[in-house]
Structure 1
Amino acid sequence: GKKSYFGYKAFIVTDSEDGFIRHVEVLPANASEVRNLEGALGPLKPRRVYADKGYYSSENKELLRRKGIKNGIMYKAARNKGLSRLEKVFNRLVSSHRYLVEQAFGTLKRRFGMTRATYMTLRKVKAEVIRKAMAFNLLKALNLRGKHA
């Protein structure tokens, strides 16, 4: 009918210098960010990963260490234990780099209608997100070209 019961999560990896989308992963909505960092990175070998506190776990920190990637995952406060002053400063520094990802999601939602999936299977939704990511990258390239012309 008219009700939605299922959903999908899009994970995107952007370049921290120019904001182009480098990798896309789509999973069912019930998939946890904490357990899917490696899949979200895909084949990329970044120098550093900036991620929100949804990815905070000792397993993810160990994964980054094992792969030789610098950790930029925001700290998450535990129940009845707030963040230390240094952890808050670290989170602010990470946030100053994460805006490119948030900007990409905002543009994908506003300009390319990525608020609802058009299709129903994981494979089709991933193809839709990849197509919209390509359109985003083309728009970004045009905008950058205009600034340098």
Structure 2
Amino acid sequence: MSSPADSCPLCASDGAPAVWRDDRLRVIAVDDADYPGYVRVIWCTHAAEMTDLDDEDRLHVMRVVLEVEAVMRDHMRPDKVNLAALGNMVPHLHWHVIPRWRGDRHFPDAIWAAPRVAPGAEPEAFRELTRAAALRVPEFHRRLQERLAVRFLPSP
């Protein structure tokens, strides 16, 4: 008999490269040119809801999500950060941490809504902002690794 984890794409991708990971979760980069710096925080074992975790694990997930948001705000400088834990399509516990800028293709709606601006129809000033943000992503990932390692990995 198969378990939900057998067909879960997040369980199947557990070995994929991560920006950062510990023994309970991983932070992965999402390749989305409209939202440079977008990451997901994914719980490593198959669980669908936050209440499937014990108190200590729930606290750990939220602390990591909030550290990711803090580094994103500091380095990527978005106008807003969206945090989302939906799991409607993939019922495996994960958080989306999404940098948002006024005037992005979906603004002010969620990124899963129909875009309000067609690809390539953004004003040049907004395209320049997105290009500049994309150039900050490698340093954002480095700072994220550094901050999460200091906060969450045990000292040798």
TM class by smaller structure: 0.3 to 0.5
TM-score norm. by structure 1 comes to 0.35
TM-score norm. by structure 2 comes to 0.34
Q: Greater helix share, 1 or 2?
A: 1
